[in-house]
Structure 1
Amino acid sequence: MTNIYFPDEEISRNDIFFVCYMIERVARRLHQRNRYVVNQIGRKSLEHLVSVANVLHAENPLAVEKDWIETYQLSEGTFHVDRVDPELVTKIPGPLQMGKVYERLIHDTKKPGESEVDGIIRVYNHEICDVIDNYNCSAYYEPSYVIARAYYEGGF
């Protein structure tokens, strides 16, 4: 995919990583699932965000969160990633770690001719995300090729 503002510039994996990281941050702040954030933002706005990611990553993440919440009219939910069994989970993965997990999954499952934005929408709307975001299991911790295989097979 090329940058919508600078057609000579390709979207990088770091741009996708940043957007995935921010999706995770916003979803956690609002107690929503990641797919809610992705679907509320929508394809056209995701194209914009991916295209300006190389600039936004220099901004304060809290300010970017606030801007996304206001701009895309995102609302509070009831999903809490931190509600885990303390017997099973001693440390919840952070937004950076989960942003990387999702960036890799988008890259590893990219279809021929598919844009990165289409990959973001496809992956975040797949049922495998419910398993990856359940920190009582170790799905998020698996190597990226295992997560990609689980994506294709419909489960771990």
Structure 2
Amino acid sequence: MTNQERNDYFYVCALIEYISRATRNHRGDVVRTIGKKGIEKLLYDAQVNHCLSFEQVSDEVIEYYKIKEGTFDTISDCHYDVPSYLDIGKLYSIMIEDCAKPGEEVQELINIFQSFISDAISNFNSDLYYQNPDYLEWSYREGELLD
């Protein structure tokens, strides 16, 4: 993966996190609604969209893909400092780079966001986000949180 591709995946992962928080949806539901072609388009447009605010791009994506308001609120009842959408986006982009076979990065993004690990990471009342990234990656690969 080139540096530009890393930046694009980081941007798109952070955008998905931002949209999910704004619409109170599971991250996997947002990815499912956008679809594979939509994710590919967001990656293609990432270099241009970097210049725009997350709010503007988020509003455009929500409107274009008709992402409805959900009930998965991970922020309101959080008792701790919530990691920023950029921090979470970085975590996802690292997992994609580490787990994806060359040429299969988009599908890996979809797989990760639709897996159990995404909802687990989104539980900001747990300490899972703060665990070693290798632990999160291997838990994802094994399909369950490791002991």
Report the TM-score, using the length of structure 2 for normalisation: 0.91
SS of residue paired to 1:43: helix
Q: Structure 2: any 5+ residue segments left out of the alignment?
A: none
Counterpart CA distance in 2 for 1:135 and 1:21 is: 16
Larger radius of gyration: 1
Instruction: Say if 2:19 is the partner of 1:30.
Output: no
List runs of 5+ in structure 1 lacking aligned partners. 2-8
Matched with 1:136 is: 125
Does residue 14 of the first structure (1) align with residue 4 of the second (2)? no
Shift of residue 96 of structure 1?
Answer: 0.6
1:82 — aligned with what? 75
| Bigger helix fraction | 2
| Cα separation, 2, equivalents of 1:113 and 1:69 | 29
> Retained in 2: the 8 A contact 1:108–1:145?
no
CA offsets 1:48-93 (integer angstroms, 9 cap, x no match): 111111111111211101100110000000111114452xx2x011
Maintained 8 Å contact 1:33/1:79: yes
Q: TM-score of the superposition, structure 1-length normalised?
A: 0.86
Give me the whole-angstrom Cα distance separating, in 2, the residues matched to 1:104 and 1:71: 28
1:11 positional shift: 5.7
User: Which range moved further: 24-33 or 142-151?
Assistant: 142-151
Instruction: Report percent identity of matched pairs.
Output: 32
Q: Identify if the C-alpha distance between structure 1 residues 84 and 114 changes in structure 2 by more than 3 Å, giving closer, same or farther.
A: farther
Residues 92, 85 of structure 1: alpha-carbon distance in 2 compared, 3 angstrom cutoff? closer
